[in-house]
Structures are given as C-alpha cells and as structure tokens.
Amino acid sequence: MRPLTIDLQSLENALDGDEAADCYLDLETGAILAVTPDAPTPGTADKYDVQPERYLHIAPLTNARSLAMREDFLFGQDDPHAHKVLSHALAGRRPLRTFDYELEKFPAVYEAWRAFQEEQLREYAMEWLQENGLEPAGGGLRPPAGR
C-alpha cells in the first residue's frame, strides 16, 4: 500500500456527498479537490504537464448505502418517539432529506446521529483508501484546512 498524508475529514465529506461538486484526491499531495460541474477534471487542462492519473475520483456514497447507515443508526436508538418518526421518514418519499429534517426535532438523538455518522464515515474513508491501495502516512492524517 502506498502511504499518503490525507485530510481525512475532507475525504469523509467527499464520500458523504456534502459537496455540490465532484471531488478528487491528489495522489501527490493528498489534497482533496472539489471541482464544480463547469470546471475541467484536475490534471486535464494543464497546458504542458497533463497528468490525469495524478487525481483519483472520489465517488460519494450511494443513496442505498447512506440509507443503510441511517437504518443501522435507528436500530440502536432507544427513544421510541424519535424511532417512530425517523423510521417513518426513511420509509417515505425522499427518505434521506426527510430523515435529516425530522432528526432536528430531537437534539439528543441528533447528537448521537452526528457521532455515529462521523464514525461510519471514518470507516468508509478507510475502506475507500484500502480499496484504492492507499493508507494514511504514519497513521498521521493532515488536519483539516483552516484549523
């Protein structure tokens, strides 16, 4: 496996699909790049040094996997009212958006969800790195930009 210093939080955000852009991992620097739909893919517009193989596309989690993560979370919840409301949200139209909306009505459950989601996204990020033959260098991950 190839070690690389990576901003794992940015990778998690890219996998979660929070970005309204395509995301890429720069295999030389470990940076996560967000590319808007009207911009060229990184490495393809460089006039003299075209390097498309330097950038690895980060596909966000599928809706099915995001839904499964929420279902897994609900399985461990003991608040019967929140469980009922959130289960109903997942069974309805636009389940991901509805779940997130309904979740805001339950602050304690929301905090539990954020912790669960963070843990799950970290696991998915580590899986994604392994599937792509990468590992965080020295276990040391780059702190998120701006901190």
24 and 46 in a common domain:
yes
- Residue 73 included in any domain: yes
Are the CB atoms for 137 and 8 separated by under 8 Å? no
Beta strand segments in the chain, E: 2-4, 22-26, 32-35, 55-58, 134-136
Count of domains for the chain: 2
**Is there a single domain that holds both residue 8 and residue 54?**
yes
**What does the pLDDT profile of the chain (147 residues) look like in tens digits?**
677 888 888 899 999 985 578 888 999 888 898 887 776 666 665 554 556 688 899 999 999 999 999 999 999 988 999 999 999 999 999 999 999 999 999 999 999 999 999 999 999 999 999 999 998 775 544 444 443
Give rounded-to-5 percent helix, strand, coil for the chain: 50, 15, 35
Domain with 82, as residue range(s), is 63-120
Contact 124, 61 (CB under 8 A): yes
The answer to the question of residue 17 being in a domain is: yes
pTM of the model as a whole: 0.79
